[in-house]
Amino acid sequence: MPNNSNLLSKEKTQKQNRIWVRIASVCNNNCIFCLDSNAHDWTFSDEEEIKKNIKDWFKEGFNNRVIISWWEASINPKFSDYISYAKEVWYNRVQTITNWIMFASEDFCKKVFNAWLEEVTFSMHWHNETLHDYLVGTPGTFKKSLKWLLYIKKHFPNIIINIDIVVNKININYLPDIVKFYMKLGIYEFDILQIIPFGRWFHENRQKLFYKLEDYSNKLSETWKLSKIKWMYMWTNRFPAEAFENFEDLIQDPRKIKSEVMWEWRHHFEPFILSNWNEKQECFPAACDSCFLKQYCNDFIDNQKKKIIDDKQKYFILKWEEFPSNVYEKYGKNKEDFIGFLKNIDKPILNLPKCLGWTWIYETYNDIMEEKSIEDYTEKYINDLYRKKSLRCAECKYNDKCEWIHINFIRSYWFNILNPINNNG
């Protein structure tokens, strides 16, 4: 059973004003799974624009965190200057995500940590030299990385170190062992990232790297179990929610989709939205089955054809709440409270699966023609359409027609609130 306290603890971090600042379109690795390889143009972002973004995106009254990143930010010769500037603006924390190569130097480490870099996420995709170096396409990286990880832990003990791992067909069978290896070195925060179909991995290496989640569910479950260890902080990124049945506190915050489609991958999705889905992305449909944004695209297409409910006053609308704490406050602290709340509603309920009773009618969103923007659709998708069901629902006789339940009810009350209805039900 998922841990509510773990979910609520993560919520505190997710409520931060967290911004990502891109300072480089360059990388000194050659990862075979790189999703950004087409965008590497060996340039650095404009200094004035970077500082303007750091300053303008700071929010008074919030816990502010800036992640200075994108490809290999540490290559930028002004990397430490931007760290110092963020602290001058009074960001609570400055973080970077890196492949380690620039950190393999005592002088560099002293320079950036003295500039008040406080958290470093190191990308490590294996726990031995041969296959790690093969995945990152740079010989010698693993030994250097390990040496300097230990150096930083010893000489800069106040620096927060975490590890991110891109999961792919080559390393997934060893994923629990990789996490355990770094735990033995004193690392207790991990970001486990699902490979996604863009860049080099999709166009050059998909046969080597693509895998089906259902074929490796045992290894994923073995990894998710490690999140229950005391002091462990495990985050996941770009995995479909269905991968976390019995570990629902690991489901990614739904608002993360905004950064994917409105920032990082806007050039893919905006033409698709603005053309009313007539102009397909270059990835469509070849990449759909391996993309965690498949539902985002398909819901946009499907909801063009649906009728909007006219008289919503007749219904109680089961709407998303931004955080699980908001769900608990409104609907109750557990599954039983939630079911009891629903039973006391004296109106038909919208957005509820048939297995939970009542109307089995859903709000849809097909007015994109009136408000034609990627921001508008993305907000509406997250608020209204981002629904999920259990893998067990495949057994339900209503499975093909069911539109599921909003992701934040799954995160709050877990997949087991859903009870597939068999042919005798």
Structural domain includes residue 20: yes
Task: Please tell me the predicted confidence (pLDDT) of residue 305.
Answer: 66
Of the three residues 250, 268, 286, the one that is the final residue of a domain is 250
Question: pLDDT tens digit string along 48-67?
Answer: 999 999 999 999 988 999 99
Helix (H) or strand (E) segment spanning residue 108: helix 106-114
Confidence of residue 38 (pLDDT cuts 50, 70, 90): low
Average pLDDT estimate for 387-416: 91
Q: Which DSSP state fits 307?
A: P
Q: Quote the number of domains for the chain.
A: 2
Confidence of residue 366 (pLDDT cuts 50, 70, 90): low
Structural domain includes residue 284: no
User: Do both 110 and 187 map to the same domain?
Assistant: yes
User: Do both 230 and 330 map to the same domain?
Assistant: no
Task: Please tell me the predicted confidence (pLDDT) of residue 217.
Answer: 93
Question: pLDDT tens digit string along 273-311?
Answer: 788 777 877 777 778 888 888 888 888 877 766 666 777
Of the three residues 195, 217, 250, the one that is the final residue of a domain is 250
Whether the pLDDT of residue 407 is over 90: the answer is: yes
User: Do both 13 and 139 map to the same domain?
Assistant: yes
Structural domain includes residue 286: no
Average pLDDT estimate for 203-221: 90
User: Do both 170 and 42 map to the same domain?
Assistant: yes
Q: Which DSSP state fits 241?
A: G
Q: Which of 423, 420, 425, 253 is nearest to 353 (CA)?
A: 420
User: Do both 239 and 321 map to the same domain?
Assistant: no
Q: Say which CATH number the domain at 116 has.
A: 3.20.20.70
Identify the domain containing residue 177 by its residue range: 4-250
Structural domain includes residue 150: yes
Structural domain includes residue 40: yes
User: Do both 95 and 207 map to the same domain?
Assistant: yes
Task: Please tell me the predicted confidence (pLDDT) of residue 273.
Answer: 79
Structural domain includes residue 141: yes
Average pLDDT estimate for 253-277: 82
User: Do both 245 and 361 map to the same domain?
Assistant: no
Structural domain includes residue 185: yes
Burial label, 185 (beta-carbon count in 10 A; 0-12, 13-18, 19+): middle
Whether the pLDDT of residue 194 is over 70: the answer is: yes
Question: pLDDT tens digit string along 145-179?
Answer: 999 999 999 999 999 999 999 999 999 999 999 99
User: Do both 165 and 238 map to the same domain?
Assistant: yes
Instruction: Encode 82-100: b = buried (16+ Cβ within 10 Å), e = exposed.
Output: bbbbbbebebebbbbbbbb
Whether the pLDDT of residue 2 is over 90: the answer is: no
User: Do both 19 and 149 map to the same domain?
Assistant: yes
User: Do both 78 and 218 map to the same domain?
Assistant: yes
User: Do both 217 and 71 map to the same domain?
Assistant: yes
Whether the pLDDT of residue 250 is over 90: the answer is: yes
Question: pLDDT tens digit string along 318-328?
Answer: 888 888 999 99
Structural domain includes residue 223: yes
Instruction: Return the percentage of the chain with pLDDT > 90, whole number.
Output: 50
Q: Which DSSP state fits 262?
A: I
CB of 72 closer than 8 Å to CB of 102: yes
Q: Which of 12-26, 187-201, 312-326 has the lowest mean pLDDT?
A: 12-26
User: Do both 101 and 245 map to the same domain?
Assistant: yes
CB of 167 closer than 8 Å to CB of 240: no
Query: To the nearest whole number, what is the mean pLDDT of the chain?
Result: 87
